[in-house]
Amino acid sequence: MARRCALTGKEVQFGHNVSHSMRATNRRFEPNIQKVTFPSAALGRLVRLRIAARTLRTVQKKGGLDAFLLGTRDDRLMPGARKLKHQIQKKLSTGKA
């Protein structure tokens, strides 16, 4: 399983540990990935995703998964999140859920 956020694509970054003597050794900065289940009012079901803790805060601030996806540009979302967004848009355009 990739250490990558399913919504935003945040993934492992690389850098250096720098000691007191300024010796640099390689290290990884891993995102805080959590398994979260969101209710989708538009789809009428629960959606389980592996997302970064930072993304979870943003989703909560925006008012839930549906509001987050509908308010985010497609080029900022992962392919799976784009598919989910289009499902929500289709459901909302055909009639109220």
CATH of the domain at 27: 2.30.170.40
User: What predicted TM-score, i.e. pTM, was given to this entire model?
Assistant: 0.86
Report yes or no on 77 lying in a domain.
Answer: yes
Report yes or no on 4 lying in a domain.
Answer: no
The whole-number pLDDT of residue 97 equals: 47
* Total domain count, the chain: 1
Look up the domain containing 40 and give its range.
Answer: 13-94
Report yes or no on 6 lying in a domain.
Answer: no
Report yes or no on 45 lying in a domain.
Answer: yes
Q: Give tens-digit pLDDT for 7-56.
A: 999 999 999 999 999 999 999 999 999 999 999 999 999 999 999 999 99
Report yes or no on 8 lying in a domain.
Answer: no
Q: Give tens-digit pLDDT for 43-97.
A: 999 999 999 999 999 999 999 999 999 999 999 999 999 999 999 999 999 875 4
Report yes or no on 40 lying in a domain.
Answer: yes
Question: Coil, strand or helix: which one is 1?
Answer: coil
Cα separations in angstroms, 2 against 51, 75, 80: 11, 20, 14
36 forms beta bridges with 49
Report yes or no on 2 lying in a domain.
Answer: no
CA-angle at 71, arms to 67 and 72, nearest 5°: 120
Report yes or no on 78 lying in a domain.
Answer: yes
